[in-house]
Structure 1
Amino acid sequence: MKKRITGRFTVILFVIGFMSATQYNTVNTDNTRDSRDTWEIRQQLSREKQLHSELLSEISLLDDTLGKYSDKATKEPEAILKETVEDLRIGAGLTQITGPGIELEISPSLEAIALGTEITEIPPDLLIRLVNEINRFDGIELAIAGERVINTTAIRDINGYTTVNTEPISTPPFTIGITAESMEEARKLSSYLTASAIHDDFYIDDLTIAISEPQEDLALPAFDEEISMEYLEAGEGE
């Protein structure tokens, strides 16, 4: 009799324990899903706010340009036109610029040198990841191994060589120059890149990133190639 009661009691405890574990599992899964969805929404909201901020900046710049035309067009039409053309050239990266910034030196890691590991060109996808990290900051201009990066710049593999603007990038070491809108922004960029996980990605490829102290006057070369007009179409005037 005692054995039968003990057996039933054991079965009941097993059922209760199984149901409790199932309920705990379900609650945990739901919490994880909700947390993940909330995080994704926050990321999307952050991207939308950044885009909104960029659009407001563009609108403000266009308003300033229109204001210049309204004030000076009747008195100095040629001067305002030349000023606008120069602003467009600067914005397109067609002029040399000097400003506060930092330099990154891409070099083989000490372990790779000690072990005699052959260092080849930096992989294009790794270089693109670094550029994307840098472009998280607004008002950034950069040049990779002397090649100015603009909106139409392509970083890709051509015949086994990593290229920027179709120009092969030398095997590391080489430098990347970055200018910011102010010394404060240059310091923020330096701190961000110092703590970035991009260092781990480079280390896997036997490379390191050395970040210089922020400089007051860092010069970047002009983009000196022909800008591709392949996807531009002229509109018909009325």
Structure 2
Amino acid sequence: MKQGVYVRFTIILLIVGFMVAVQYNTVKKPESRDTRDMWEIRQELSLEKELHSEMLTQIREVNKTITKYENLQSESPAQALNETLETLREKAGLTEVTGPGLELTIKPSLEGIALGQEVTSISPDLLVQLLNEINRFNGHDVSIDGKRIIHSSPIRDINGQTTVNSLTVRTPPFKVRIGNETIEDAEKLYNHLQSSMIADDFFIDNLTLTIGKPQDQIGIPAFDQSIKNKYLKNTSKGD
């Protein structure tokens, strides 16, 4: 009789313990809630709409290219291939481009010069941060100190010297040129850079970043080095 009571009592304690454990876990790990205010949500929605618009534009451009290629292929396959190759070379940064854009000037700050703080180079991290800001607002073509930036361009420190494409970046002052598709894109990038904190980051390193106004025509040099490919290789004829 007593054994049956103990068994029932044990089962009740197990049930109560299980319920307490579940309740404790619920209190310890409450369901996360979205704490953003209306303004933050509107900003994120605006960025998503811009991204959606850019993707639609890219899709339209790809469809135009496909249609053009199909039309030329039936008339002149060689011309179609040459035009496709030239487009790919331009997108890869292997050709010089001229169009709307901005010119930035990086030079030692007057305050640093007055305090005798000599600037010998610019840090790779600062250049990467600047490049990220540019890429956020459609900076399609970029050159740093005359060195064209492409998808595989390394920006790093080599033996204490900041390099782009394994070439040393000169001691400031030097120019950064940015090419955009339209003058409207150049104006958006100009406004973004003016309102961002990137200039303050340069000032901390005793440098000043001067943002030139949008220009209708600005030249960006071509990438003039060989591109290394890990996955592509030439094939002999007939393969």
Query: RMSD of aligned C-alpha atoms?
Result: 2.9
1:38-60 Cα offsets, whole Å, 9 max, x none, are: 99988877776666555444433
In 1, distance between residues paired with 2:205 and 2:169?
Answer: 16
Query: Are the structure 2 counterparts of residues 211 and 226 from structure 1 closer, same or farther at C-alpha, using a change threshold of 3 Å?
Result: same
CA contact (8 A) 2:137 2:188 kept: no
What residue in structure 2 maps to residue 62 of structure 1? 62
TM-score (norm. length: structure 1): 0.76
In 1, distance between residues paired with 2:208 and 2:224?
Answer: 29
What residue in structure 2 maps to residue 228 of structure 1? 228
How far is the alpha carbon of 1:70 from its aligned partner? 2.0
1:113-171 Cα offsets, whole Å, 9 max, x none, are: 11121212111111100110111112521100000111111111111111111111011
What residue in structure 2 maps to residue 104 of structure 1? 104
CA contact (8 A) 2:138 2:189 kept: no
1:12-64 Cα offsets, whole Å, 9 max, x none, are: xxxxxxxxxxxxxxxxxx9xx74259999888777766665554444333322
TM-score (norm. length: structure 2): 0.76
Letter in 2 for 1:113: I
In 2, distance between residues paired with 1:227 and 1:54?
Answer: 28
What residue in structure 1 maps to residue 202 of structure 2? 202
1:90-118 Cα offsets, whole Å, 9 max, x none, are: 11110000011111100111111111212
Q: Does 1:178 align with 2:196?
A: no
Query: Are the structure 2 counterparts of residues 43 and 123 from structure 1 closer, same or farther at C-alpha, using a change threshold of 3 Å?
Result: farther
Query: Are the structure 2 counterparts of residues 72 and 231 from structure 1 closer, same or farther at C-alpha, using a change threshold of 3 Å?
Result: closer
Where do 5+ consecutive residues of structure 1 fail to align? Answer: 1-29
Name the SS of the counterpart of 1:95 in structure 2. coil
Letter in 2 for 1:89: R
What residue in structure 1 maps to residue 6 of structure 2? none
What residue in structure 2 maps to residue 4 of structure 1? none
The 5 A counterparts of 1:115-194 are 115-138=115-138, 140-194=140-194
The 5 A counterparts of 1:76-87 are 76-87=76-87
Query: Are the structure 2 counterparts of residues 37 and 156 from structure 1 closer, same or farther at C-alpha, using a change threshold of 3 Å?
Result: farther
In 2, distance between residues paired with 1:115 and 1:228?
Answer: 44
What residue in structure 2 maps to residue 218 of structure 1? 218
How far is the alpha carbon of 1:225 from its aligned partner? 0.6
Query: Are the structure 2 counterparts of residues 188 and 40 from structure 1 closer, same or farther at C-alpha, using a change threshold of 3 Å?
Result: closer
Where do 5+ consecutive residues of structure 2 fail to align? Answer: 1-29
In 1, distance between residues paired with 2:100 and 2:50?
Answer: 23
Name the SS of the counterpart of 1:35 in structure 2. coil
In 1, distance between residues paired with 2:48 and 2:189?
Answer: 22
Query: Are the structure 2 counterparts of residues 181 and 62 from structure 1 closer, same or farther at C-alpha, using a change threshold of 3 Å?
Result: closer
1:169-195 Cα offsets, whole Å, 9 max, x none, are: 011111100111222221221121112
